Amino acid sequence: MLLALRRSGAPLHREIYQALKSAIREGQFRPGSRLPSTRALCADLGVSRNTVLAAYEQLLAEGYLLARERATTVVADVVTPPRASADRAEPSTPPRLSAYAERLTREPWMPPSGSYALRPGIRHDFRYGKPAVDDFPLDAWRRLLGAHARRAPRDGFGYAAPAGHLPLREALVQYLQRARGLHCDAEQIVIVNGSQQAIDLAARVLLDAGDAAVVEEPHYPGATVAFDALGARLIRVATDAQGLDPAQLPPSSSRARLAYVTPCHQFPSGVIMPLERRLALLDWARRNDAWIVEDDYVSEFRYEGSPIEALQALDRHGRVIYIGTFAKTLFPALRLAYLVLPRSLVRPFTAAKWVADRFSTPLPQAALAEFISSGQFERHLRRASLRNAARRSALIGALRQHLGDRIEIAGENTGVHLVVWFRHMRWPELDALVARAARAGIGLYSVAPYYANPPPRAGLLFGYASLSEAEIRTGIRKLATLLD
């Protein structure tokens, strides 16, 4: 028998197994035909009998072969699929999807492929959300991870609680009371895989198809996508220089079940909601039996005075669902965030978390608990705030120096991004500028995706946390050259 072995570096018994399976699938061995004995085949191939036996046993286990009396082996009477081909045609009929999947993948909500991938040739990348890796104490973090891995108990390698690692939740209670003025205990906290999972769980627990969800305009697409995919009706409330205007909130007849807000640093405009509006928003939620989802995504970075008090700290009627994340304060790949829930919502949210993915990875939670409780987290925040303040100052200074009165800079003295509006530029011109900048090694990003209907003048979203002051100044100088 001629048997072509590929000699790909795989173990010999796997090579023989693959060659025999391919021959059966391609019809070289017909159903019921007898294969050579293991002794004959090992002599033919010059391998040990155990090697051939291992290949035959795998084919027997998968049902390609049948063992008969007197140690004979025959090909099973089965119809096997053809070997996979890289260029094999897809079915002509579109796949049947759920209504959820149809809504999730329709334009314009489907996120672009590779939207967060590295961009070759981009040396000055003003992408929002890129981590300031050099600011993070990586050595200390590695030591914490290693220490907790070494001393993890035996049951630490099994399933964990869906609400999250209790020491981390306890550490968060102390930190949030101290830094954000929150009123909560560990039982009200659920650890999740990033703020996006927190938003998704809120949507699934609180919304049915046809319900209304209030969102800010401009908006955070991660929230609008989650609500829209579930079939909720989006009620967009315009923001102004003081954030969302409660006077524009819908009446009870709208069946609005929740309002998603970013009061401490509206995304993407960067404005801060004043106390009067916060209280009015809380009153609207109480009167309409609605929930407020407060996404407190970057409030720790405030460069004049202390961070603004969280909306949850003002809540006296249990209407606020608070989302905190470590994506901006530490790094996005950590994939840890948390919900602070009204007591009445703890059980349904914990159940939804269990259904979604059972629990978040325990080891990083254990390391993060010690990172917070030992004071290292807040020391890191102080250092990172100083560096981000310097970066922000460098960006504003470079923009004013090189672009002058051609632009308007928006946003409060907080966060890790700015919005820059061009006074006399429209969107087609901006798209062309973004393309020219990319060819020159500068990563620029339009603010248009954060609007349902973008305003007439064009604008850019500048993230600056991952760049040095020198890189920021050079990037803006090159941008001015492209404009000139």
Chain segment 405-433, per-residue pLDDT in tens: 999 999 878 899 999 999 999 999 999 99
242 and 218 in one domain?
yes
307 and 168 in one domain?
yes
Percent of the chain with pLDDT over 70: 93
472 and 335 in one domain?
no
User: How many domains does the chain fold into?
Assistant: 3
In a domain, 93, yes or no: no
Q: Are 379 and 357 in contact (CB under 8 A)?
A: no
In a domain, 151, yes or no: no
Chain segment 87-120, per-residue pLDDT in tens: 566 667 888 899 998 888 876 655 554 455 667 8
388 and 299 in one domain?
no
348 and 255 in one domain?
yes
Question: Rounded to two decimals, what is the model's pTM?
Answer: 0.88
189 and 304 in one domain?
yes
Specify the pLDDT at position 82: 59
User: Residue 232: which of 206, 197, 261 has the closest Cα?
Assistant: 206
Domain interval for residue 420 = 118-130+379-483
406 and 346 in one domain?
no
In a domain, 216, yes or no: yes
Q: Are 180 and 296 in contact (CB under 8 A)?
A: yes
200 and 254 in one domain?
yes
397 and 369 in one domain?
no
Chain segment 220-244, per-residue pLDDT in tens: 999 999 999 999 999 999 999 999 9
In a domain, 220, yes or no: yes
433 and 323 in one domain?
no
In a domain, 181, yes or no: yes
43 and 125 in one domain?
no
Give the mean pLDDT of the chain: 91
User: Residue 210: which of 231, 190, 181 has the closest Cα?
Assistant: 231
- The enclosing domain of 252 has a CATH number of 3.40.640.10
Token pair listed for 468: 């040095």
369 and 432 in one domain?
no
